[in-house]
A and B are shown apart, each in its own frame.
Chain A
Amino acid sequence: MLTPREIELRLDRILLKVAKPGRYVGGEVNITVKDWHAARTRVALVFPEIYDIGVSNVGLKILYDQVNQREDALAERAYAPWLDMEAQMRANGIPLYSLESFRPLAEFDIIGFSLPYETLYTNTLNVLDLAGIPVLSAERTITHPIIIAGGHAATNPEPMHRFIDAFVIGEGEEVIHDIITVVQQFPKTALDSEREHLGAGGRENMLRALARIPGVYVPRFYRIHYRDDGTVAHTEALVEGIASPVVKRVVAKLPPPPTRFIVPNIEVVHNRVSVEIMRGCTRGCRFCQAGMITRPVRERPVAEIVAAAAEAIRTSGFEELALISLSSSDYTDVLELVTAIGERFAGRHLIVSLPSLRIETVSVDLMEKLRARRAGGFTLAPEAATERMRRIINKFIPDEDILNTTREIYRRGWTTIKLYFMIGHPSETLEDVRAIAELCKRVIAEGRKVLGGKAKLHAGVSTFVPKPQTPFQWVSCDTPDQIAAKQDLLKRELRDRSIKLSWTEPEVTMHEAWLSRGDRRLADVIYTAWQHGAKFDAWGGQLHYETWLAAFAEHGLDPAFYTQRQRRTDEVFPWEHISAAVRKDFLFQDFRMSLEGEIRVDCRQQCFACGILPTFNNLRRENRGEVWKCPDVPVRLATGVQLPVSVAAD
């Protein structure tokens, strides 16, 4: 294998031939470079997208810090090279390397992939290939790193089961240490004699040990049995002592957030400090996978957020602070938080963004606090524009609230409002879609009353894809023609110089839809598509739709089986053996309610027994009080007597 010095020499010869060579050389402020030889376990963390997009990912930053804080381990980073760089690397024998030390990825003990969405799958295969590591898990030996992956897409890991050795389900902060502990028991560099002691199947034994860690899913130890109609009959665990279902891991209390952010030397997508203020969501929107799988809600205390933000700004020199969560205005002390931030940074030029605001809880007070440090537009997400659709998706915000809120926003100096809508929901008609256009016109009309021609509206209309572990996991997806017809309607209706409309190409939506609810057989499709050049599928113009269709055909699979098929009520899903701790019954009941247009209120107000609480009973007991938004559980005294729970009035 090439040494770091050899890699650097080869890079020097080719870097001026590619766009933005700064992507490939590291050397940023706030990276951690530890002594390679002093570390017992070396972890490479990979975001399988280009540097510009991956470098600011907070999830990987959290793991980077967790691993580097250990004395016996180190973590370094790698990203997917863009097409021009990949060509140069392949032509010049440069394997994919880490940015901290230019070490080939193949020299690491563990490679951890972040998989936030399905369109990164082919990039993941490509990264492994560029690293010189067998793309298929079955072909790897004890000399190869262990390949793990986590992230929201891992809630249905099945399409990637042939390529990833072990999936992390849920939150990674604690389980990464469990994984390192196991890997340390099976050293790669073991001599042959030692390897015999480990057993002829050294790697197999290590994977077995990993499979016993709660929250870790090792696909090779499960077999899927199919019915004649192609759906899943059941999943069989092949060894003893492994979980089925594999239940996600959660941290009881959010650990201290990162405070030293990596500062790129080149221009990238996000140039800001991000502090996570809350994890989870209680709204229960039926289309939303993130809201369903990141429960329970755990909030960070205001003081901790402010201190972390201050330290992060001081050590990075960034000019922007983002306070992030799935539904930030639902954060209990949001006004207090924004006030405290304002005071802490008084007199300093700092932009504060609070994305993911909920229309119902965006108060005039909150707008007032945000206006001084605003930049760019104000974003809200109504999603649907008719009462019927709002009830179906369980995101019920009346037109009047939307109009009032947007008017107040325009009044306070924001000239651009961005509204997110979603088309393609179950039972949606063209009338429902037309209502989106009508609502946009009413919003811009209000804006013009306040700001005249300066008022702008950006309507971001995405296309709904049914996701696993949600109430809509049973539904059929719109066909590309149906989607195109709806988009054409919107394009016709929204011809206005002050309105900008953006949408997703139907083919891109189909690609996501195939993979979201895919089963194990999709692994062959992904592999074939990648072999025929599929990569960077998320990029406009890069999706090789025909290549994917050909891959489906080659394996005798019909893409429509995964998309335009209403699931049976009692259907066993390909991800059934992976649990986000939200009961299938709960999801099905919610689905039935959606058919009747019945809504469910925010579960801060009323617990609907989704399944989180029984699963994490003990964790809840150890973390009583308001920071967890699930109801408190009774305290069990040593005598076995249960104290009554006082229910806080809301």
Chain B
Amino acid sequence: MRLRITFAKQGALRYTGQIDLHRIWERSARRSDLPLAYSRGFHPQPKIQLAAALPLGFSSRCEVVDLRLERDIPLDGLIERLQSAVPPGLTILSVEQEDESVPALGTLIESAEYEVTLLGKVSLADLRAKIGDLQAAASLLRERREKRYDLRPLIENLDISPLDPQVIRMRLAAREGATGRPDEILAELGIPLEDARVERTRLIIRESQP
């Protein structure tokens, strides 16, 4: 049985990385008495699939994990059962059964949306101008881990929230080999990371085509 769980990752869990999150899910599944399926071989690994690693320090309202179980279990009460087993900071939003034939989670994610709340005082005009510059740029060459890449095509949307001038919204590509990061956008805008709070708000998952 394949369970797809969406969850929020906030509070202290902002400071855990992808590998830590994997382990958190494994232990949470054990504490909830879920019959997790394990791979075969010398070092059996639990069949847990996370997708689109969230950088350290960011929170999220829209994370997704697939758990494979050894056998079918009823979905009733699963949300409560999981919620009481996960660490504080992890909020279970939904639990659904996913078809086995659907491709791996990691291959399905197209883009990610973020809300960046600015903590310091920023001039609205200044910010608008800088965002305008980014959008007008034909390319934004950067280096990540000693590899050069162009950030511009990875920016799918970038604006200031109409509800709150202290909040920047962005939609960035989140595919294998083509991922934009909010901290890179902030760097281009000249805003230090410690002056901002970043939360992922939506993962855009490609629906499987027939």
Contacts and interface: CB of A to CB of B under 8 A. Distances in A.
A20 to B, nearest CB: 8
Nearest to B57: A16
Interface in B27-74: 27-31, 38, 44, 56-57
A27 B197 contact: no
A261 B57 CA distance: 26
Nearest to A31: B88
B31 A315 contact: yes
B38 to A, nearest CB: 8
A28 B16 CA distance: 11
Given A16-B57, A267-B23, A27 B12 contact: yes
A265 B12 contact: yes
A12 B20 contact: no
B194 A21 contact: no
B56 A27 contact: no
Nearest to B31: A317
Given A12-B194, A27-B89, A265-B87, A318 B13 contact: no
A318 B11 CA distance: 23
Interface in A306-335: 314-319
B30 A25 contact: no
A316 B31 contact: yes
B149 interface: no
A318 B27 contact: yes
B26 interface: yes
Contacts of B30: 317, 319
Given A13-B194, A14-B194, A16-B56, A266 B27 contact: no
Interface in A4-25: 12-17, 21-22, 24-25
B193 A16 contact: yes
Contacts of B15: 15, 21-22, 24-25, 266
A266 B31 contact: no
Interface string B76-90: 000000000111110
Contacts of B27: 29, 263, 316-318
A492 interface: no
A26 interface: yes
Contacts of A266: 15-16, 20
Nearest to B32: A317
Task: State the main secondary structure of chain B at its contact with A.
Answer: helix
Nearest to A14: B194
Given A16-B194, A265-B24, A26 B12 contact: yes
A648 to B, nearest CB: 43
A260 to B, nearest CB: 11
A359 B20 CA distance: 38
B13 A265 contact: yes
A349 interface: yes
Interface residues on A, range: 20 to 34
Contacts, number: 67
Contacts of B31: 29, 314-317
A318 B12 CA distance: 20
B197 to A, nearest CB: 7
Contacts of A17: 194
Contact of A12 (B13, B24, B38, B197): B197
B37 to A, nearest CB: 12
B127 to A, nearest CB: 20
Interface string A166-179: 00000000000000
Interface string A286-301: 0000000000000000
Contacts of B86: 29
B44 A21 contact: no
A265 B10 CA distance: 13
A317 B82 CA distance: 13
Contact of B57 (A15, A26, A314, A317): A15
A318 B88 CA distance: 18
A25 B12 contact: yes
A319 B44 CA distance: 13
A317 B28 contact: yes
Chain A CB within 10 Å, residue with most, of B16, B57, B197: B16
A319 B195 CA distance: 40
A473 to B, nearest CB: 45
A349 B12 contact: no
Nearest to B89: A27
Contacts of A319: 30
A27 B11 contact: yes
B161 to A, nearest CB: 20
* Residue of A16, A28, A315 contacting most chain B CB atoms (<10 Å): A16
Contacts of A314: 31
A266 B17 CA distance: 8
Nearest to A33: B88
A103 to B, nearest CB: 15
B193 A27 contact: no
A267 B27 CA distance: 13
A143 to B, nearest CB: 30
A315 B23 CA distance: 15
Given A16-B57, A22-B20, A265-B87, A27 B13 contact: yes
Contacts of A22: 12, 15-16, 20
**Residue from B13, B19, B30 with most neighbouring chain A CB atoms (10 Å):** B30
A25 B197 CA distance: 16
Contacts of A263: 27, 87
Contacts of B195: 13
A161 B164 CA distance: 57
Given A16-B193, A22-B20, A27-B89, A317 B44 contact: no
Contacts of A317: 26-31, 85
Nearest to B55: A16
27 contacts: A13-B194, A13-B195, A16-B56, A21-B56, A21-B57, A22-B15, A25-B12, A26-B12, A27-B88, A28-B12, A28-B87, A29-B27, A29-B31, A29-B86, A265-B12, A265-B13, A265-B16, A265-B24, A265-B87, A266-B15, A267-B19, A267-B23, A317-B26, A317-B28, A317-B31, A318-B27, A349-B44
Interface of A: 12-17, 21-22, 24-29, 263, 265-267, 314-319, 349
Given A27-B89, A28-B12, A266-B16, 11 more contacts: A12-B194, A16-B57, A21-B56, A25-B11, A25-B15, A27-B13, A27-B87, A265-B87, A266-B20, A267-B20, A319-B30
| A-B pairs with lowest CB-CB distance, top 8 | A27-B12, A317-B27, A317-B30, A25-B12, A21-B15, A13-B194, A317-B31, A22-B15
Interface of B: 11-16, 19-20, 23-24, 26-31, 38, 44, 56-57, 85-89, 193-195, 197
